[in-house]
A and B are shown apart, each in its own frame.
Chain A
Amino acid sequence: MNWVGRRLPRSEDPPLLRGEGRYVPDIAIGARVVRFLRSPVASGRITALRPPAEMPPGCLFVTGADLAEVQPIKPGLRRFNYRAVEQPVLPIERVHFVGQAIAAIVAPGAALAEDLLEACELDIAAEDPVIGFDAALAPDAALVHPIAPGNVAVEGELRPEAFAETLASAAHMVEFAFRSGRQSAMPLEGRGGVAEYDRATGRIRLSASAQMPHQLRTGIAQLLGMPEADLQVIAPDVGGGFGQKMALFPEYPVLVWLARKHRGRFAWVEDRNENLIASAHSRDQRHVLRAGFDAEGRLLALEADILADVGAFSVFPTTCAVEPLMALAEYPGPYKVPAYAVRTRGVLTHTCPMAPYRGVSRPVITFGIERVMDRAAAALGLAPDEIRRRNLHDVFPARSATGMVLDEASYIQALDEAVHILDIPAFRARQAAARAQGRYLGLGLSVFNERTGYGTPAFAARSMDVVPGYEVVDIAMLPSGEVEARIGSSPHGQGLRTTLSQIIADRLGLDPGHIRIIHGDTDRTPYGWGSFASRSLVIGGGACQVAADKLADKLRRGAARLLQCEPSDVTLRDGNAVAGAASMPIAELARLAHQRSELLSDAIGFNLAETGQYDPGGTFSNACHAAIVEVEAETGHVRVERYLVVEDAGRIINPMIADGQVQGGVAQGIANALFEEVIYAPDGTPLTGTLADYTPPTCAEIPEIEIHHLETISDATITGAKGLGEGGSIGAPAAIANAISDALSPFGVDVAEFPATPPRIRALVRGRAPRA
């Protein structure tokens, strides 16, 4: 029986459906309530900070002065031009963005804590903040941090010899300057943690809504100078993360500090406003592209000037370089380019810091290169699919412009399949008929590749002080024949318990129901990196496969001893170890291995436990997205009529879960393209602090998403699986923007800023009459 490839229902679901999940806010009940006093101004000097005049019994007020022994958060990057900005856990002198935590109030209940928060005395001598690229990069700009001259926190540049000549020699030049609006990952459950002191052991248990529990543990122990072994971090049920919950936020060390000092249980659960203004943002970027094409539409040279607003601080462990350097490394996606020059800068401003968010910079670079392809196609009189076909990599392994190995993939096949499904001639006829009636339909393509499942070598190349990558899995068969696999990945909605059990089940000839996946607890799992970067199924899954194969070998050796044959004669299937006509239940083998070890120990030792490790170089999945939209020129309203995804993520372990990842990613990408933007007033006040201002789409705005799979099995991963967690978000903004641009082509305008909100679209067409 093969379990890989089946739409196995998720074992995660029943408790969640009964309302029996355990999320941080559920664990928080009964703990002392922690609330944070947050800065109302973007930049300034703290001149007074005092607790409420009356503090009821059982209440505490904690400031940076109390945390004098606690180290500042200082994420490191070994690059000469990286400015290692420090973030004090609670600041004493200065504030750097609206929403920055300044002090903590502790009370027995939430309402009292919030009353006390309002009674705190806080004076800040406000100064003019640095908001936006133009202000930050102005020659006379104030410095967000004195150690970062010019407000540049990190910089990268590549410029091959004779680049300017190559670009100048191109028959056609396309210039494209565009802006990507700031977005929030906005998991439906915000951040939160409960820190509890165990009087019997002196240890602290921190339950946190986190994606990287082991990193949180290491990081907090370092900041607090406490024994790491005294800290247990648990990621219980986590209500979505999408990258936002990778960071070591300052609130967590405060909770652990409180629990240690006051030997109690302390909980902080943020509200939506805190999540929107003070957790982490992403995607606030401005790019200028210059692309030179030859007369046949082949890209000869690409120049990119990239600005990424990194906010006021650098988050641990990924650092504020994650967006600007990802953008540098991955232009121009799946396309061949003989010459690539790029400059990227991470720019400090008095705004909320940036963390990775599903896709990291790739939704932005895909938007850039895909809009360039459409502009070039229009200039050269080529169809959008044809210009892409002429430029996509088609011989593998290929090398990207920055030297990354592009493994076996299906860039052109995915495009061809999408074009075939769409029936573009029929759409063009419909589009022409609609235009004649003053209705504007458009079709947009977006072709991209997605680097996934990359291990230590890829992260080491980024020169991070903390280099993520590998995964380790400890697998053990119990005397009952059930299997426990302890993983360092930390799922939060991806269904890993189900998919990993499918991988292991096939290797051991067992039913997935007999396999438990244990995760999200530093006491019970091997050191690992958690879940992010479309890595867990590839790397955690690969490590599961390695571990399960070693265990299978052991089982075969044990069975061979009992069945009196060679290990190579034994197969494990349907719960049995089978050798020719002889067979025995694997559960019986497991019992004997543990309880009658005298029969087996010289063949297999005294346990049925193995460790698997996996650290792949990385693999690229790929996709072609296509959107058909209708734009109402008068109102600027965009309706997504059809959304198509042709996706190649190699071997699909569970098609149901894979499609769910794509659908969810596309919905976030459509949100990015049309609806969501974090907006700051010029004085640094966030204007989008509620879900009435920051507006994620509902099911009324998100269309059915049609998904077709190609399965290119490359040898870059041992399971054949490639990651696909981020692709949906990566492809959608470009597909939607290209579709809107196609729809508005009679007006002679196109999209150069997203989200393409109704006011922006109205501004584009204002004063313009459509060509017939």
Chain B
Amino acid sequence: MTEVRFTVNGAAQCAEVEPRLTLADMLREECGLTGTHLGCEHGVCGACTVLMDGLPVRGCLVFGVQAEGADIRTVEGLAAPDGTLNVLQRAFQAQHGLQCGFCTPGFLMLATWMLEQPGGVDEARLRDVLASNLCRCTGYQNILAAVRAAAQEMGVWKG
């Protein structure tokens, strides 16, 4: 067992984990943050996407121990503490960007990262980045529409 200290959504965390435990499993099982989902556990689907020190990572391809000292952001950190949805989450609801919701946390974190990058987002960039993740339900159109709408509302859309 190895001790790992890191922050999740701004709160300090400490976990005792086996070195082979993935970051996604550590977040789910040790931190109780079950919003991060596992769709393949081999790096393809992106359902497990979280932000680690400002970059999107596949939570299933990173070991928990690699998070030592890292700043992690997960889907649970997006809404306000009272549950009020943020711009991106609201756009997903308004544009029907989710059906079963299983892929949704991964897409939300990926899009959160993209929208925070300097330089803004255009159509090509939108498709290019969101093609990292799989959704089986929506056919993607409304996910793209939701992120586009959020980018517009945030003033970073360069359509």
Whether A17 and B140, one on each chain, are in contact in the complex, defined by CB atoms closer than 8 angstroms, is no
User: In the docked arrangement, what's the CA distance between A17 and B92, Å?
Assistant: 8
A426 to chain B, nearest CB (A): 24
A513 to chain B, nearest CB (A): 14
Number of residues on chain B facing chain A (CB within 8 A): 58
Residues of A within 8 A of B130 (CB): 698-699
Whether B102 and A188, one on each chain, are in contact in the complex, defined by CB atoms closer than 8 angstroms, is yes
A701 to chain B, nearest CB (A): 8
Q: Which of B41-49, B51-59, B113-121, B151-159 contacts its partner?
A: B41-49
B77 to chain A, nearest CB (A): 9
Q: Which of A67-75, A130-138, A233-241 contacts its partner?
A: A233-241
In the complex, per-residue mask of A9-34: 1 if CB is within 8 Å of any chain B CB, else 0: 11011101111111101100100000
Q: Which of A563-571, A661-669, A745-753 contacts its partner?
A: A661-669
User: In the docked arrangement, what's the CA distance between A663 and B139, Å?
Assistant: 5
B22 to chain A, nearest CB (A): 10
Q: What DSSP secondary structure best describes chain A's contact surface?
A: loop
| Residue B69 is within 8 A (CB to CB) of chain A in the complex | no
User: In the docked arrangement, what's the CA distance between A668 and B140, Å?
Assistant: 11
Nearest opposing residue in chain A for B42, CB measure: A690
Whether A18 and B76, one on each chain, are in contact in the complex, defined by CB atoms closer than 8 angstroms, is yes
Q: Please pick, from A19, A186, A188, A700, the residue contacting B74 in the complex, using a CB distance under 8 A.
A: A19
Number of residues on chain A facing chain B (CB within 8 A): 54
User: In the docked arrangement, what's the CA distance between A3 and B155, Å?
Assistant: 33
Whether B127 and A700, one on each chain, are in contact in the complex, defined by CB atoms closer than 8 angstroms, is yes
Whether A17 and B136, one on each chain, are in contact in the complex, defined by CB atoms closer than 8 angstroms, is no
Whether B131 and A237, one on each chain, are in contact in the complex, defined by CB atoms closer than 8 angstroms, is no
Residues of B within 8 A of A21 (CB): 35, 101-102
B152 to chain A, nearest CB (A): 17
A698-B131 in contact given A17-B79, A493-B101 (Cβ < 8 Å): yes
Residues of A within 8 A of B20 (CB): 111
| Residue B96 is within 8 A (CB to CB) of chain A in the complex | yes
Q: Please pick, from B74, B92, B141, the residue contacting A13 in the complex, using a CB distance under 8 A.
A: B92
User: In the docked arrangement, what's the CA distance between A16 and B42, Å?
Assistant: 23
Whether B44 and A664, one on each chain, are in contact in the complex, defined by CB atoms closer than 8 angstroms, is no
Whether A667 and B139, one on each chain, are in contact in the complex, defined by CB atoms closer than 8 angstroms, is yes
| Residue A189 is within 8 A (CB to CB) of chain B in the complex | yes
Whether B89 and A239, one on each chain, are in contact in the complex, defined by CB atoms closer than 8 angstroms, is no
**Which residues of B (1-59) have their CB < 8 Å from a CB of A?**
18, 20-21, 25, 28-29, 32-42, 44-45, 47
Whether A493 and B137, one on each chain, are in contact in the complex, defined by CB atoms closer than 8 angstroms, is yes
Whether A18 and B96, one on each chain, are in contact in the complex, defined by CB atoms closer than 8 angstroms, is no
Nearest opposing residue in chain B for A494, CB measure: B99
Residues of A within 8 A of B83 (CB): 14, 18
A23-B37 in contact given A14-B93, A660-B99, A691-B45 (Cβ < 8 Å): yes
Which residue, B89, B102, B142, has most C-beta atoms of chain A within 10 A?
Answer: B102
Whether A272 and B42, one on each chain, are in contact in the complex, defined by CB atoms closer than 8 angstroms, is yes
In the complex, per-residue mask of A463-505: 1 if CB is within 8 Å of any chain B CB, else 0: 0000000000000000000000000000011110000000000
Residues of A within 8 A of B137 (CB): 188, 240, 493, 660, 664
Whether A493 and B100, one on each chain, are in contact in the complex, defined by CB atoms closer than 8 angstroms, is yes
A245 to chain B, nearest CB (A): 11
Residues of A within 8 A of B98 (CB): 13, 16-17
A188-B39 in contact given A495-B99, A692-B44 (Cβ < 8 Å): yes
| Residue A150 is within 8 A (CB to CB) of chain B in the complex | no
User: In the docked arrangement, what's the CA distance between A665 and B138, Å?
Assistant: 8
| Residue A93 is within 8 A (CB to CB) of chain B in the complex | no
User: In the docked arrangement, what's the CA distance between A700 and B133, Å?
Assistant: 10
Residues of A within 8 A of B105 (CB): 19
Whether A704 and B141, one on each chain, are in contact in the complex, defined by CB atoms closer than 8 angstroms, is yes
User: In the docked arrangement, what's the CA distance between A699 and B135, Å?
Assistant: 9
Whether A663 and B141, one on each chain, are in contact in the complex, defined by CB atoms closer than 8 angstroms, is yes
Q: Please pick, from B79, B96, B140, the residue contacting A702 in the complex, using a CB distance under 8 A.
A: B140
Q: Please pick, from B21, B104, B135, the residue contacting A17 in the complex, using a CB distance under 8 A.
A: B104
Nearest opposing residue in chain A for B76, CB measure: A19
User: In the docked arrangement, what's the CA distance between A672 and B33, Å?
Assistant: 35
| Residue B144 is within 8 A (CB to CB) of chain A in the complex | yes
| Residue B108 is within 8 A (CB to CB) of chain A in the complex | yes
**Which residues of A (226-244) have their CB < 8 Å from a CB of B?**
237-240, 242
Whether A664 and B138, one on each chain, are in contact in the complex, defined by CB atoms closer than 8 angstroms, is yes
| Residue B65 is within 8 A (CB to CB) of chain A in the complex | no
Whether B144 and A699, one on each chain, are in contact in the complex, defined by CB atoms closer than 8 angstroms, is yes
User: In the docked arrangement, what's the CA distance between A498 and B102, Å?
Assistant: 18
| Residue B143 is within 8 A (CB to CB) of chain A in the complex | yes
**Which residues of A (663-693) have their CB < 8 Å from a CB of B?**
663-668, 690-692
Whether B131 and A699, one on each chain, are in contact in the complex, defined by CB atoms closer than 8 angstroms, is yes
Q: Known pairs A19-B78, A187-B136, A663-B141. 18 more at Cβ < 8 A?
A: A10-B93, A13-B92, A17-B92, A19-B74, A188-B137, A239-B101, A660-B139, A660-B142, A663-B142, A664-B138, A666-B139, A690-B44, A691-B45, A692-B42, A698-B131, A698-B134, A699-B131, A700-B128
Can you identify 25 A-B contacts, CB atoms within 8 angstroms?
A9-B93, A14-B85, A17-B104, A18-B76, A18-B79, A19-B74, A19-B76, A20-B35, A20-B76, A25-B37, A29-B32, A187-B102, A239-B37, A239-B102, A271-B41, A493-B99, A493-B101, A663-B141, A666-B139, A691-B42, A698-B131, A698-B133, A699-B143, A699-B144, A700-B131
